Amino acid sequence: MAAQKFRKMNDSASLLKLMSWLSPVFPTGGFSYSSGLETAVQSGLVVDADDLRDWLKAALSNGALHNDAVLFAAALRMSNAPKELTKIAEMALALAGSAERYLEMTAQGDAFIKAVINWPDADDVRFPSPCPLCVAAGAAGGASKIDLTIALSAYLHSAITNQAQAAIRLSVTGQNGASNIMAALEPDIIALAEFAAQSDMDDVGSAAMNAEIMSMRHEHLNGRMFRS
């Protein structure tokens, strides 16, 4: 089925939705997951703010967030096509490199769906089950006629913010260091959002092997703070 065509919602309404959906108020459990960062810290791969910036930069350029952005964009375009959404979700889940990554994607996605149905447009979406967060958020954005690049930028910013918050809890950096990293990574977030807005499913692919290994090793980490 062809991607839906729609008139974009006005900027203020879109901004309010994105701020709500991607805020700590939403029960997506971002505070519970580190995407393998906790293991990277304990293994000595990420020990300071410079390491953290490089770790997050890699996630955006050729890691899980690259794939999430491409899948988010595909889901937004196909928000009114349930069969296509299911295929996109299946692709996303097939890319999960560990059991914990799978849990992170689906638990956050399911929690997001339960909350986002309070918005009438999103309530009309036939979300697949299980549904990864990137697919759920993309489909909700499409149903609400939010501009693709803006939605992608907000989603990626939220993902990086969650990682920065995890790093603060892991004592890798303080709040000032985290804010410096957020400022430094803005060009990377914008670049990925603009790339993903023009992408198709052939652009899925990653090469962040250390991140995948750390995610797998986290399953056997003793005394862990996060679920992934």
**Domain, as residue range, for 209:** 17-22+34-218
pLDDT in tens, 108-118: 999 999 999 99
Question: For residue range 169-178, what is the model confidence (pLDDT) as tens digits?
Answer: 999 999 999 9
Residue 225 in domain: no
Mean pLDDT within 124-144? 95
Position 72 in a domain: yes
What's residue 3's pLDDT? 47
Using one digit for the tens of pLDDT, what is the confidence trace for 48-103?
999 999 999 999 999 999 999 999 999 999 999 999 999 999 999 999 888 888 99
**Three-class DSSP labels, the chain:** CCCCCCCCCCHHHHHHHHHHHCCCCCCCCHHHCCCCHHHHHHCCCCCCHHHHHHHHHHHHHHCHHHHHHHHHHHHHHCCCCHHHHHHHHHHHHHCCCCHHHHHHHHHHHHHHHHHHCCCHHHHCCCCCCCCCHHHHHHHHHHHCCCCHHHHHHHHHHHHHHHHHHHHHHCCCCCHHHHHHHHHHHHHHHHHHHHHHHCCCHHHCCCCCHHHHHHHHHHCCCCCCCCCC
- CATH number reported for the structural domain that contains residue 111 in this entry: 1.10.4190.10
Q: Is residue 27 part of a domain?
A: no
140 domain-assigned: yes
Confirm if 139 and 153 have CB atoms less than 8 A apart: no
Q: What is the pLDDT of residue 6?
A: 38
Q: Is residue 141 part of a domain?
A: yes
DSSP line for 153-166: HHHHHHHHHHHHHH
Q: Is 73 inside any structural domain?
A: yes
Task: Give the model's confidence band at 29: pLDDT under 50 very low, under 70 low, under 90 confident, else very high.
Answer: low
In-domain check, residue 53? yes
Mean pLDDT of 193-204: 95
In a domain? residue 228: no
* Domain count for the chain: 1
